[in-house]
Amino acid sequence: MIHRLSLRQVLTLGSALLLAACAPQKPAAEPVVEDAWARSTVEGQKMAAAYFTLRNEGETELKLTGVSTNRAGSASLHRSAVDNGVATMRPLEGGLLIEPGETIAFEPGGDHVMLEMLEKPLVEGETFPMTLEFAAAAPITLEVKIVGAGER
């Protein structure tokens, strides 16, 4: 059946589209990162983990997609879990969604930034830059504080 649109319908549709296009953009996702830290390592230790908390203060969903740092040969989003009494660790494929208002913790024994191929040890008291990448928000570079391995 062919349905011909009346002029009135076309106008209504047109103005609706126009309104949608001109409407102020929804506030973007707004990542806020706090308390970035890592444990010190010894010479020869090639892997370490970095932790932080991440809050989405925006009004749309935020997606953490990746991480980078020049302090390690590779950095990736990782998750530790205990499966049947066995500690395992796997990449966080596909990133991580943070709802508006939600805070997620990258913390020991859970989600962490996996630092691999460390060229030199992480020394207590020093810091290093690390960049978090998001799907629809500007990347954030933060300073990761290195604390004594037994401290927290």
Amino acid letter, 50: A
Number of neighbouring beta carbons within 10 Å of residue 82: 9
Query: Under the criterion CB under 5 A, does residue 78 sit at the interface with Cu ion?
Result: yes
DSSP string spanning 12-73? Answer: HHHHHHHHHHHSPPPPPP-EEEEEEEEE---TT---EEEEEEEEE-SSS-EEEEEEE-TTEE
- The residue with tokens 């020049």 is 70
Answer for which of 39, 63, 64, 75 binds another protein (CB under 8 A) is: 39
For another protein, the binding residue among 11, 32, 117, 136 (CB under 8 A) is: 117
List the structure tokens of 125.
Answer: 């008291």
Pattern 86-105, Cu ion, x by CB under 5 A: ---x----------------
Is residue 63 within the footprint of another protein (CB under 8 A)?
A: no
Determine if 136 is a binding residue for another protein (CB under 8 A).
no
CB of 123 vs Cu ion, minimal distance in Å: 21
Q: Tell me the backbone φ, ψ of residue 79, rounded to 5 degrees.
A: -135, 130
Residue 109 binds: one of Cu ion, another protein, none (C-beta under 5 to 8 A by kind): another protein
Nearest residue to 39 via CA among 104, 91, 107, 88:
107
- In the list 77, 114, 137, 144, the residue contacting Cu ion (rule: CB under 5 A) is 114
Q: Which residues bind Cu ion (CB under 5 A)?
A: 78, 89, 114
Binding stretches for another protein (CB under 8 A): 39-49, 78, 80, 82, 85-89, 108-109, 112, 114-117, 148-152
